[in-house]
Chains A and B, each alone.
Chain A
Amino acid sequence: MEKRVVFQSPWLPYALVAPQLIITLVFFFWPATQAVYQSLLIQDAFASKVQFVWFDNFRDLFNDPHYLASFRVTAIFSALVTVIGLSLALLLAVFADRVVRGARIYKMLLVWPYAVAAAVAAVLFVFLLNPTLGIVTHLLRAIGYDWNYLLNPRQALALIVIAAVWKQISYNFLFFLAGLQSIPKSLIEAAAIDGAGPARRFWTVVFPLLSPTTFFLLVVNVVYAFFDTFAIVDAATSGGPVQATSILVFKVYQDGVQALDLSGSAAQSVILMAIVIALTVIQFRFVERKVNY
Chain B
Amino acid sequence: MTNRPKRFARIAAALAFACAATAAQAATEIVWWHSMTGKLNDIVNEIADKFNKSQSDYKVTPVFKGQYDESMTAAIAAYRAGNPPQIVQVFEVGTATMMAAKGAVKPVYQLMAEQHEPWDPKAFLGAVYSYYADTSGHLISMPFNSSTQVLYINDDAFKKAGLDPANPPKTWEEMAPAMEKLKSSGAACSFTTGWQSWVQLESFSAWHNVPFGTLQNGFGGLGTRLEFNGPVQVMHINNMSNWAKKGLFTYKGRKDEPLAAFTSGECAMITTSSGSYANIKANAKFNWRVATLPYYASVKGAPQNTIIGGATLWVLNQKNKENYKGIAKFFTFLSSPEVQEKWHADTGYVPITTAAYELAKKQGLYTERPGFDIAIKELTNKPPTANSKGVRFGNFVQIRNIIDEELESVWSGQKTAKQALDEAVKRSNEQVERFQKANE
Residues of A within 8 A of B (CB): 42-49, 51, 60, 64, 66, 130-133, 150-153, 238-243, 254-255, 257-261, 263-264
Looking at the complex, which of B124-132, B212-220, B336-344, B430-438 is the stretch in contact with chain A? B430-438
Is the beta-carbon distance between A132 and B439 smaller than 8 angstroms?
Answer: no
B398 close to A255 (CB less than 8 A): yes
Q: B22-48 vs A: 1/0 string, CB under 8 Å? A: 000000000000000000000000000
Q: Are B412 and A132 in contact (CB under 8 A)?
A: no
CB distance A42 to B103 under 8 Å? no
| A261 B405 Cβ-Cβ under 8 A | no
B209 CB, nearest partner CB in chain A, Å? 29
> Which residue of chain A has the shortest Cβ distance to B102 in the bound complex?
A48
Distance in angstroms from B381 CB to nearest chain A CB is 32
Contact residues in B for A261 (Cβ distance below 8 Å): 395, 398, 434
A131 CA / B189 CA spacing, docked (Å):
12
Asked if B401 and A43 make an inter-chain contact with CB atoms under 8 angstroms apart, the answer reads no
Partner of B80, one of A47, A242, A258: A47
Q: Are B397 and A259 in contact (CB under 8 A)?
A: yes
Task: Please pick, from B260, B401, B439, B440, the residue contacting A238 in the complex, using a CB distance under 8 A.
Answer: B401
Q: B57-82: contact bitstring with A at CB < 8 Å (1 yes, 0 no)?
A: 00000000000010011001001100
Cβ-closest chain A residue relative to B260: A132
* B86 vs chain A, min Cβ distance (A): 16
20 A/B residue pairs, CB under 8 Å, sorted by A: A44-B101, A45-B97, A45-B101, A46-B76, A48-B103, A48-B104, A49-B439, A130-B260, A132-B252, A132-B260, A151-B412, A239-B401, A239-B405, A240-B254, A241-B408, A243-B405, A258-B69, A259-B397, A260-B397, A261-B434
Are B251's CB and A44's CB within 8 A?
A: no
CB-CB under 8 A from B261, the residues of chain A are 132
Residues of chain A within 8 A (CB-CB) of B437 are 42
In the A-B complex, the 6 residue pairs with the smallest Cβ-Cβ separation, listed nearest first, are: A259-B397, A46-B101, A241-B408, A46-B104, A132-B261, A151-B412
B100 contacts partner chain A, Cβ-Cβ < 8 Å:
yes
B404 A240 Cβ-Cβ under 8 A: yes
Instruction: Give Cα distance in the complex from A259 to B93, angstroms.
Output: 10
Distance in angstroms between the alpha carbons of A49 and B430 in the assembled complex = 20
Contacts of A66 in B (CB 8 A): 427
Restricting to B404-425, which residues have a CB under 8 Å from any CB of A?
404-406, 408-409, 411-412, 414
Q: How far is the CA of A238 from the CA of B254 in the complex (A)?
A: 9
B246 to chain A, nearest CB (A): 15
Q: Tell me the complex Cα distance, A131–B261, Å.
A: 9
| Beyond A44-B438, A150-B253, 16 extra complex contacts between A and B, CB < 8 Å | A42-B437, A45-B76, A46-B76, A60-B430, A150-B252, A150-B408, A151-B408, A152-B412, A238-B254, A241-B405, A241-B412, A242-B414, A254-B398, A257-B69, A258-B73, A259-B398
Q: Please measure, in the bound complex, the distance between the C-alpha atom of A42 and the C-alpha atom of B411, giving whole angstroms.
A: 36
* Interface residue B156 (Cβ < 8 Å from any Cβ of A): no
Closest to A257 in B: B73
| Of the residues A51, A239, A264, contact of B434 by C-beta under 8 Å | A264
Is there an interface contact between A260 and B97, defined as CB atoms closer than 8 Å?
yes
Q: Given the complex of chains A and B, what is the CA–CA distance between A94 and B88 in angstroms?
A: 54
Contact of B438 among A49, A153, A259 (CB under 8 A): A49
Please tell me if the beta carbons of B405 and A260 are within 8 angstroms of each other in the complex: no
Bound: A263/B79 CA distance, A: 18
Is B266 among interface residues, defined by CB-CB distance under 8 A?
Answer: yes
Q: Indicate whether B264 reaches chain A with its CB closer than 8 angstroms.
A: yes
Complex: A150 Cα to B405 Cα, angstroms = 11
Q: Give Cα A133 to B438, complex, Å.
A: 43
Residues of B within 8 A of A130 (CB): 260
> Which residue from B72, B73, B438 sits with its C-beta under 8 Å from A43?
B438
> Closest approach, in angstroms, between the C-beta of B435 and any C-beta of chain A?
8
Contact A46 B260 (CB under 8 A): no
Q: In the complex, what's the smallest C-beta–C-beta distance from B94 to chain A, in angstroms?
A: 8
A51 CA to B260 CA in the complex, in Å? 46
C-alpha spacing A256/B408, complex, angstroms: 24
Whether the pair A131, B395 counts as a contact (CB closer than 8 A) is: no
User: In angstroms, how far is the closest chain A Cβ from the Cβ of B273?
Assistant: 18
Q: Which residues of B contact A254 (CB under 8 A)?
A: 397-398, 401
* Bound: A150/B266 CA distance, A: 16
- Please, which residues of chain A bring their CB within 8 A of the CB of B251? 150-151
Q: Complex Cα distance A76/B201, Å? A: 33
Q: How far is the CA of A60 from the CA of B430 in the complex (A)?
A: 9
Measured in the bound complex, the distance between the Cα atoms of B393 and A259 in whole Å is: 12
Q: A46-B76, A241-B412 are in contact. Are A258 and B397 (CB under 8 A)?
A: yes
Residues of B within 8 A of A260 (CB): 72-73, 76, 97, 397
Contacts of A46 in B (CB 8 A): 76, 79-80, 101, 103-104
Chain A residues near B404 (CB-CB < 8 A) = 238, 240
Contacts of B101 in A (CB 8 A): 44-46, 48
B266 nearest CB neighbor, chain A only: A132
Residue of chain B at shortest CB distance from A153: B412
Whole-angstrom CA separation of A47 from B401 in the bound complex: 24
Expressed in whole angstroms, the Cα–Cα distance for A150 and B192 within the complex equals 13
A39 to chain B, nearest CB (A): 14
Measured between beta carbons, the chain A residues less than 8 angstroms from B97 are 44-45, 260
What is the CA–CA distance of A257 and B395 in the complex, to the nearest angstrom? 12
A242, B252: Cβ atoms under 8 Å?
no
**Given A49-B438, A242-B412, CB of A131 within 8 Å of CB of B252:** yes
Tell me the minimal C-beta distance from A100 to chain B in angstroms. 42
The distance in angstroms between the C-alpha atoms of A259 and B395, with both chains bound, is 7
What residues of chain A lie closer than 8 Å to B408, measured between beta carbons? 150-151, 240-242
Complex Cα gap A239–B103 (Å): 35
With a CB–CB cut-off of 8 A, which chain A residues contact B79?
A: 46
B411 contacts which of A151, A238, A264 (Cβ < 8 Å)? A151
Contact B409 A242, beta carbon cutoff 8 Å: yes
- B399 (CB) vs chain A CBs: closest residue: A259
Please give the distance in Å from B309's CB to the nearest CB on chain A: 17
Checking A43, A133, A240, A258 against B405 with a beta-carbon cut-off of 8 angstroms, the contacting residue is A240
How many Å from the CB of A236 to the closest CB on chain B? 11
Complex: how many Å from CA A35 to CA B364? 58
CB distance from A175 to the nearest CB of B (A): 34
How far, in angstroms, from A257 to B72 measured CA to CA in the complex? Answer: 10
CB distance from B257 to the nearest CB of A (A): 8
- The closest CB in chain B to the CB of A65 belongs to B427
**B414 neighbours in A (Cβ, 8 Å):** 242
Residues of chain B lying within 8 A (CB to CB) of residue A152:
412
Bound-complex Cα distance A263 to B437 (A)? 12
Give complex CA distance A47, B102 in Å. 11
